[in-house]
Amino acid sequence: MLVQKPKQNRIKYLIISSFVLGFVFFVGHALAVEYTLDNLDNVETWRINQDINDKRSQIQDLNKQVEIYQKNIQAKQKEISNLSSQLSILNNNIAKINLEIKTAELEIETTNLKIENVQLKIQAKEREISDQKETVAEILRTLHRQQQQSSVIEVLLLNDNFSGFMAELDNLEKIQSSVVNQVNDLKNIKLAMTQDQASLEDNKDELAALQNILENKKGSLSEQKTAKASIIKVTQGQESKFQTMLEQAKKEQEQINSDIIYLEKIAREKLNRQLQQNQAAESTPGLMWPVSSRVITAYFHDPDYPYRYIFEHPAIDIATAQGTAVKAAETGYVAKVKNGGKTGYSYIMIVHANNLSTVYGHVNQINISEGQFVSKGQVIAYSGGMPGTSGAGPFSTGPHLHLEIRLNGLPVNPLNYLP
């Protein structure tokens, strides 16, 4: 036995040395590759963050310019209503919306950069996870090979004394502890990646919202330009013609509001009787969008509405092509149909259950009549709004549907009721 001990010790040394050297080489190589990739990611991340900061600075500058135009618009809205003031309001609105479009485009670019940044983080973590898995797998494979080469009994026999045996077991425990630590690190990396993925989804939602804002701004810009061209054409630059238009519009708006409030009460009684007689006519709860478009060019009580000094905007304007089918937002009773003809304003009012009613303005062609009971989704008209066309009225801003929702006869924000 004394003659064999040096040989046994050499075998033991070679087994342990090969394991340590192999493990060190593998980890070192993995770290070197990871270090190179991390450096590339860091450079790219730095560039993206610089671009984000530059765009944020540009957005701040644009917002300051927007504030100046907003103050100019508010000042003009307080002046005596005349053609010059109206054109000035439209010019300031056009300039302001152009800046808002640039701002929205920059915000979209910024959000895209944020998305790119998060995607880089996720890719880095995916590589890190892959490396960690491979590291753990290599340790386990090495341990397995070592266990096949020498069992616990063999380790005991290869050692001169019990203390040497305990030292070998201690080494094995350290290696096993290293595996546990690697697995814990892997869990932490996966958790961080899950958080990055959630952040990515939030950024994508933000991007979709910004793209919707951009579309709305572009639609609003188009309508402001159309309104300006229409006023210049109709008035031919004459103040007297503008004042005549203004007076007619105010009277018409007052009459419409009065009619709607009065007729809403009468029509509701007829609706309730109709619903009692025809329960099958009741539809699923909730209003539907009357047109497929979701591009809103003027909001409820919109401060940018170009004719706000004449009357508040008690509706939303939905940009849609001239001649688009308009559908009833809910089952109801047709309380009012007003055909304004070639120069006047045309609209339809429908009374629904739950004390709600809807008004559809600037309609070009009307398909129903007063006293008729209509179903949800039924085509009631075709849209208009193009200045100079039938039903558009004197102050239309372009092709769109003017949609009011009223509760007990009073206007409420339609966006609070539409899905």
Residue matched to tokens 């690190």: 185
Instruction: Tell which wins on pLDDT, 255 or 59.
Output: 59
Q: In the prediction, which pLDDT does 81 show? A: 80
Q: List, by residue range, all CATH 2.70.70.10 domains of the chain.
A: 238-416
- Average pLDDT of every residue of the chain: 82
What's the pLDDT tens digit per position in 16-53? 444 444 544 554 555 555 555 556 667 888 888 899 89
Cβ-contact 395, 364 below 8 angstroms: no
DSSP 239-253: HHHHHHHHHHHHHHH
State the amino acid at position 360 in one-letter form.
Y
The string of pLDDT tens digits covering residues 227-286 is 888 889 888 889 998 898 888 888 888 888 888 888 877 777 777 777 666 654 555 678
H/E element, 334: strand 332-338
Pairing of strands 363-366, 316-319: unpaired
Q: One-letter amino acid identity for 297? A: T
Domain 5-232 = CATH 1.20.58: yes
3-state SS class at 282: coil
For domain 238-416, which CATH number applies: 2.70.70.10, 3.90.1150.10, 3.10.450.350, 1.25.40.10? Answer: 2.70.70.10
If DSSP codes are grouped into helix, strand and coil, which group holds residue 79?
A: coil
> Can you tell me whether residue 261 is helix, strand or coil?
helix
Task: Give the DSSP letter string of 354-408.
Answer: TTEEEEEESEEEE---TT-EE-TT-EEEEEB--TTSTTB-TT--SSEEEEEEEET
Strand partners, 379: 327
Indicate where the chain has its CATH 1.20.58 domain(s): 5-232
Contact between 335 and 350 (Cβ < 8 Å): yes
What's the pLDDT at 327?
Answer: 98
pTM of the model: 0.69
Cα separation, 154 vs 301, in Å, equals 87
Two tokens, residue 416: 């609070």
Q: Tens digit of pLDDT for each residue in 379-416?
A: 999 999 998 899 998 888 889 999 999 998 889 999 99
CA distances to 62, 83, 100, 303 from 96, rounded to whole Å, are: 10, 20, 6, 13
Rounded to 5 degrees, what are φ and ψ at 385?
105, -20
Let me know: does 99 contact 65? Beta carbons within 8 Å.
Answer: yes
Angle between helix axes 5-77 and 83-149 (nearest 10 degrees) is: 170
Q: What is the longest distance spanned by two Cα atoms in the chain?
A: 125
Cα 120 from Cα 101, distance rounded (Å): 29
Q: Flag the least confident range among 125-134, 155-164, 200-209, 298-307.
A: 155-164
267/335 Cα distance (integer angstroms): 6
Side chain identity at 294, as an amino acid letter? R
Rounded to whole angstroms, the Cα distance separating 370 from 273 reads 16
pLDDT tens for 133-175 read 787 777 777 767 666 655 555 555 555 555 655 666 566 666 6
Question: Looking at residue 147, what is its pLDDT?
Answer: 61
CB within 8 A of 231, min separation 6: which ones? 83, 86, 87, 90, 242
